[in-house]
Amino acid sequence: MSETQSGPDTNHSSDSPQGAVGPRVDDAGAKAAAESPAPDPPPSAGDETVHLSAPDIAGEPAMAAPPVEGNRPQPLIAKVPPPAPLMMQILGGTVTSVNDREVELTLDDGRPAVIHRENFDLAQTDPTTVLQVGDGAEGAVLSREDPKDRVVLSRKWLLRDRAWKRVTSASEDHSALHCRVTSISKKGAVVDVSGLRGFVPLNHLQLIEEAPSPELVGQMLDLQVIAADRQKDRLLLSRRSALLKEQRRAELEAFQSLEVGGTYTGVVEQLTGFGAFVSVNGVRGLLHNTEMSWDRVSSPKGVVAVGDTFPVKVIDLKVKKRRLSLSRRALLEDPLAAIEVGSIHTGTVTRLVDYGVFVDIGPAEGMVHLSELAEHRPHHPSEIVLCGDQVQVKVLKVNRAKRRIELSIRQALYAP
């Protein structure tokens, strides 16, 4: 059976599906094709044909014929380019009637049109809550027929297309989208992005890893796009960048409100081996062990606790580095200031070392050198005193810078 080659506008047989290899033509068929009128110039062999799968949208492009080279039809190789946006015909008009099922309107060219509730928006909102008679409305033309010979429009299609364009634009220029929170869960929040459904993961919703507050539902948030896939209808957004900017701005203002030498109320937030982190006017500063007390502090435990509130003094402030150093000791009375050289005190022996003993005299601890224990120089302090003994000592020297006190038991015995 011979087959006659058709022109580009001739419909293919139902037995030949779209994208199948073209029929083979024998010599007789080729001769008949050569004698037939010349068809319109076919597309070149390198052209790609894009078929849009949207039968309900008006203006669908016609399917192109297989490329022809000479008088022999070549096999049509199916190439799948990236999905292209569908061409929608947008019409607008004036609303003439509206109820909870549909919206009737007169188009600008005078034709009647209708928007059914299922085509009104993504949430199938009651049209009466949005439009009134006399309002303007528009939508994409659908190809299906209406029993009343009205042009069927889809407002949902139009809103969705415009929403995705806004999302794409915001993703490219890194701008924020104003979105309303519709629901929350342990994993994050669902938001409405101009009719599209977006999701904000928990670590992008807030800086603290805890369950989101129910008060977020209904609030408007400024979010940035972190992932968008129109084909999969997947949209991920983030609030983290805006929160970090707000946190840095508030932190900068708080730093600028502090002054070196100023006294403020601090709250202990965390204990470490080298000190404690204290919050002052919303700024986190370090209270080192050496600045907690005039006494020697090896660990903050036992000196301060989380939640304690007390006055602190700012001793160092670096705004650019966001570094704050605090002191609690600077606001306490220096015990060495009350100790006078030559005064006699009664103290308790606390430690024995090879070169002397340490004696606690109340306000502070001082050292009695081996040569100041007795008239004769002992080989070891244990020959004279033991830990826990009560002794009288005389203050020989006070070094407030190095926090040292030199004492003498020998001279205290002969003191008046």
Q: How far is CA 89 from CA 73, 116, 204, 377, in A?
A: 35, 17, 38, 110
> Cα 346–348–351 angle (5° rounding)?
140
Question: What pLDDT is attached to residue 416?
Answer: 60
Q: Do 338-413 and 176-243 have the same topology in CATH?
A: yes
What mean pLDDT is reported for the chain? 78
Q: 369, 385 in Cβ contact below 8 A?
A: no
**Pick from 394, 337, 330: nearest CA to 361:** 394
What pLDDT, in 10s, does the model give residues 5-24?
Answer: 434 343 443 343 333 334 34
Q: 197, 235 in Cβ contact below 8 A?
A: yes
Give 86's pLDDT tier (boundaries 50, 70, 90): low
Q: 29, 52 in Cβ contact below 8 A?
A: no
- Could you give the CA distance from residue 280 to residue 260 in angstroms, rounded to a whole number? 13
Residue type, 257: S
- Which residues are within 8 A (CB) of 267 and not within 5 positions of it... i.e. 6 or more apart? 278, 279, 307, 308, 309
Full-model pTM = 0.47
What pLDDT, in 10s, does the model give residues 90-143?
Answer: 888 999 999 988 899 999 888 999 998 888 887 778 888 888 898 888 888 887
Segments making up each domain of the chain, as ranges? 90-154, 176-243, 257-331, 338-413
Average pLDDT over residues 338-347: 88
Q: Is the pLDDT of residue 322 over 70?
A: yes
Q: Is the pLDDT of residue 373 over 50?
A: yes
Q: Compute φ and ψ for 24, nearest 5 degrees.
A: -80, 140
Q: Is the pLDDT of residue 55 over 70?
A: no
- Tallying the residues shown for the chain, one arrives at 416
Average pLDDT over residues 55-82: 43
- Which residues are within 8 A (CB) of 24 and not within 5 positions of it... i.e. 6 or more apart? none
Average pLDDT over residues 240-253: 85
The CATH architecture that domain 176-243 belongs to is: Beta Barrel (2.40)
Q: Output b/e per residue, 36-62; b: 16+ Cβ within 10 A.
A: eeeeeebeeeeeebeeeeeeebbeeee
Question: What pLDDT is attached to residue 401?
Answer: 80
The CATH architecture that domain 90-154 belongs to is: Beta Barrel (2.40)
Average pLDDT over residues 233-247: 87
Relative to beta strand 404-408, strand 390-399 is antiparallel
Question: What pLDDT is attached to residue 363?
Answer: 78
Q: Hey, which CATH number is domain 338-413, 2.40.50.140, 1.10.40.60, 3.40.50.720, 3.40.50.2300?
A: 2.40.50.140
**Pick from 340, 266, 327, 339: nearest CA to 297:** 327
Question: What pLDDT is attached to residue 413?
Answer: 82
Please indicate whether residue 241 or residue 17 has the higher confidence score (pLDDT).
241
Average pLDDT over residues 249-269: 89
What percentage of the chain reaches a pLDDT higher than 90?
21
Q: Hey, which CATH number is domain 257-331, 3.90.76.10, 2.40.50.140, 2.30.30.40, 2.60.40.10?
A: 2.40.50.140
